[in-house]
Amino acid sequence: MKTTNPADWKGILVVGEITNCRLQPVSHELVGKALQLKQDCPAAGDVSVVLIGSGIAAAGKEMQTSGADEIILVDHSQCALFHNDLYAAILKNIIEARKPSIVLFPATARYQDLASILGIRLDTGVAAHCVDIRINETGDILAVVPAFGGKVLGDILCPAHRPQMATAKPGIFRPGEAKPGHIAKVIAFDAGGVIAETMGKTRLVALDAASCAVPEGIPLEKAPVVVCGGWGMGSKENWQLLGELAGMLGGAVGCTRPAIDEGWMPDESSMIGTSGKVIRPKVYIGAALSGSSHHVCGMKDSDLIISINNDPQAAIFEVSDIRVVGDAKQVLSALIERIRTIRSA
């Protein structure tokens, strides 16, 4: 890995995410963090946002009042569908021309892959799945990431290489407040040359519509109540209690990694934590889960946290408002029956 002169690089670039021409909330969250970094270290430079897609003028206009200093709009028909090789080529071109010191990406399925590709092509490092990002007076960022199974938080620095790149899951940072009085300038980036060169090498053959399907029910991150279970639920049969309770409360079911490994949940769309989703429901009910920091990072900001565990020393109790020591199956069954009784009265 070659070294670079940090003095030649300045500014913070946020890579926004657009799906179906709509700006995703994580874009505002990353801008909020970028503005905080700029406030903590004015020498870091201006905040820019790059948006890539087709027919995205409305998304660009929305981002103009985010507090960013400028919006770089890459609006081209060939960018309508996400294409990691093409998007990486466009971003590499922009980054090499503008030389931002810091680049922030959403840690989503598509964009964390994009960040990794750019890390290789730009010969720099990427701090993945950050739970916090800080900056010192010289403009070096300190990226905080979970390590050793979530038991500790590690600090990652990249002092000799630029740009410094980091990814963060949706929900990790709070979005900044809209600033109607501050209108960012919009710069149209002509990606025609990059597109022609890249599409001559690779092309999109087909799109699997099934893989793009939106899961049924209330999205986990929007549910007012989340009922989450861990490996301690013990069986698929016991797991059904979580869904029954969530349905009664108008909520959604979340899980930890072991539940997916056991086949109790179909995929990672309902996983909570640094490798899954970050949620802030009004009520979080956790059943039979230990409370590793990987998971806690994803639910600690819930308004009310209720935890059920048969171990009185379980780590999850350290962040809980209401602690229930007992067998999760018995407690959930009793709670469901009590709700039925109240509603039928």
pLDDT by residue for the chain (345 residues), tens digit each? 566 788 889 999 999 999 887 889 999 999 999 999 999 999 899 999 999 999 999 999 999 999 899 999 999 988 888 888 999 999 999 999 999 999 999 998 889 999 999 999 999 999 998 989 999 888 899 999 877 666 678 889 998 899 999 999 888 888 877 777 788 999 999 988 888 888 777 766 766 655 555 556 688 888 999 999 999 999 999 999 999 999 999 999 999 989 999 999 988 888 998 778 889 999 999 999 988 888 988 899 899 999 999 999 999 999 999 999 999 999 999 999 999 999 987
Query: How is residue 312 written in tokens?
Result: 């009185």
Are 105 and 111 spatial neighbours (Cβ–Cβ below 8 Å)? yes
Q: With H, G, I as helix, E, B as strand and everything else as coil, classify residue 344.
A: helix
Residue among 15, 31, 305, 68 at smallest CA distance from 174: 31
Are 139 and 40 spatial neighbours (Cβ–Cβ below 8 Å)? no
The secondary structure of residue 271, as a DSSP letter, is B
Backbone angles phi, psi at 85, to 5 degrees: -65, -40
- Look up the pTM and report it: 0.80
DSSP letters, 169-206, are -TTSSPPPPP-TT---EEEE---HHHHHHHHTT-----
Residue among 270, 268, 269, 276 at smallest CA distance from 292: 276
pLDDT in tens, 142-152: 999 877 666 67
pLDDT in tens, 62-108: 999 998 999 999 999 888 888 889 999 999 999 999 999 999 999 98
What is the set of domains in the chain, with CATH numbers?
Answer: 6-212 (3.40.50.620), 220-344 (3.40.50.1220)
